[in-house]
Structure 1
């Protein structure tokens, strides 16, 4: 079995193409002028992927952009084929005068997660699965220790469970994880601090910074760095 690609190697390969590695997925934004043009751009990307592209490519279509996501759905992590597809799709789109960019119009690529601290993950997971209508992640990416629950159509944030060893009463037990490209982490932290937040911990940076709002509710700004 081939050795898995490191996050650094993946980033080195795709960053110059306008893609970003976020939580085990390659993401790019393709600016377009209309919804019809967005549909056409997606068609170019699908054709560039060829046979088996359905196993790797997902897309969100908007009137001003197409957001493309690459990761083999049953692998749980990026494969060399995903990296190859990023290059093929980028080249094909360029042939039609379209660019792959890490964000359009000030809207960056990012992924939002909800993390729930739990003493008994197996006990509470069925409740959250039922109340959200989410499904179990069939191919966990190894980024988080608890089993993920996912929106079947990926409309909402993933939910994952963090194992606690003892009850926690001094802070909230649900927090947000905001996963961004590495170059956006510092500015995002600075903006949060300027908006009244406090830095709880940067001990794990650049993997994540823990911040708190003025009332002590916590959020983590996360990147892929420091995880290989």
Structure 2
């Protein structure tokens, strides 16, 4: 398969899940346990050496004292390709050769792989989008993606922003909400946790693509997965 081949979300998930990676919001993520900051930095170095020159701008690593979080995605957003899947496999193999294991999180750290989006409802997306791009310093995604008119942090630090088309004003409902994107096998558990914490289920009509939830005062958030989007 050519590295630039476009894959369905199901194909990506099927390919990376056995390696301990999960597809979340246009990227594949994994976690590697490390007993110290120095060992987590070693994980980052091994992963960086494990991607070929074409993958240097696709890999990011969050290094902490007890673990390293790895993410592979196209540098300017868009859908995951066969290249990202190949790099995930090669990074996992390189880490395994040094005694490290890629996983979606274990024990009390299970479910920490996630992505965060800010969703803005708009009657005229083309009119409001330039403001949000200017005020955040974000850039537009290149090519197709999971975001509508998406804006992303060029340094990959902040949450993505997308715009939801409105067909009529809704003055009594919040116009900005959070989307929490989790691995496909964590969606229902996250919804149950939110309900147990006092939330209510507004709609599960599009589940497992997303569940619409509300806090006790009616402010909404969505729990999302890649499923049901191909």
* Short-chain TM bin: over 0.9
Instruction: Give yes or no for contact 1:209–1:222 (8 Å, CA) kept in 2.
Output: yes
**Structure 2 equivalent of residue 135 of structure 1:** 138
Q: TM-score when scaled to structure 2?
A: 0.92
**Structure 2 equivalent of residue 70 of structure 1:** 72
CA gap 1:31/1:137 in 2 versus in 1, 3 angstroms: farther
Structure 1 residue ranges, 4+ long, deviating more than 3 angstroms after superposition? none
Tell me by how many angstroms 1:153 deviates: 2.0
Q: Which moved more, 1:71-80 or 1:214-223?
A: 71-80
Aligned 1:1-150 pairs, distance under 5 A: 4-74=6-76, 76-103=78-105, 105-106=108-109, 108-132=112-136, 134-145=137-148, 147-150=149-152
Name the CA distance, whole Å, in 2 between partners of 1:144 and 1:151: 13
Name the CA distance, whole Å, in 1 between partners of 2:77 and 2:215: 37
Match of 2:23, SS state, is strand
Q: Deviations over 1:187-223 (max 9, x none)?
A: 1111111111111000000100000111111000000
* Residue ranges of structure 1 left out of the alignment (5+ in a row): none
Instruction: Give yes or no for contact 1:140–1:148 (8 Å, CA) kept in 2.
Output: no
Name the CA distance, whole Å, in 2 between partners of 1:41 and 1:137: 31
Q: TM-score when scaled to structure 1?
A: 0.92
Q: CA RMSD in A?
A: 1.8
Name the CA distance, whole Å, in 1 between partners of 2:28 and 2:200: 31
Name the CA distance, whole Å, in 1 between partners of 2:114 and 2:143: 18
Aligned length: 226
**Structure 2 equivalent of residue 157 of structure 1:** 159
Q: Which moved more, 1:198-207 or 1:28-37?
A: 28-37
**Structure 1 equivalent of residue 172 of structure 2:** 170
Name the CA distance, whole Å, in 1 between partners of 2:157 and 2:84: 22
Tell me by how many angstroms 1:74 deviates: 4.6
